[in-house]
Amino acid sequence: ANRLDGTVFAEIQNRQIYLSLNDMIALLEFPIEYNLETRAYSGWYVRENRNFTYNINGGKVLANDQSLNVLPRDVLIKEDDVYVARAVLENWFDITLKPNIGEQFMILDADPPIPIMERIARRKFEARDNRRKPPALPHATRGCQYALYLPQS
């Protein structure tokens, strides 16, 4: 599980959490774009071979070559955004979100890891690795002799 810093607007209706699709795409850094004219999202997530298309008017999502129906209870259509039920969003993007409503945060998990999670893991490793002492050559102690052998011509 990883901590991502950012804001995702959410609404709770009928005991379900609906998350802003635009905010989730931005936070997870998925290269998915929204076309205002066609009212469609398109791009990819996790890896380039996992395509994503969602046409708001069509009521279908294509995620990782799977066609998924979008039921009216799955989304809240707003003027400037779409709010998607948490479980539906998890299914679309192969992620797990564990919300803590009281403290207003969520734990994110994904298998395979999404690129932003991999980047965080690399930074943690690099930070830990940088705290180590730099490598040092062994120092000769008194009484040690070194011989230099040259090739004979």
pLDDT tens digits, residue range 12-30?
998 999 999 999 999 999 9
CA dihedral 25, 69, 34, 27 (to 10 degrees): 0
71-123 pLDDT, tens digit each: 999 999 988 899 999 999 999 999 999 888 888 888 888 888 888 777 777 77
Distances (CA, A) of 143 to 39, 78, 140: 80, 81, 9
pTM of the model: 0.76
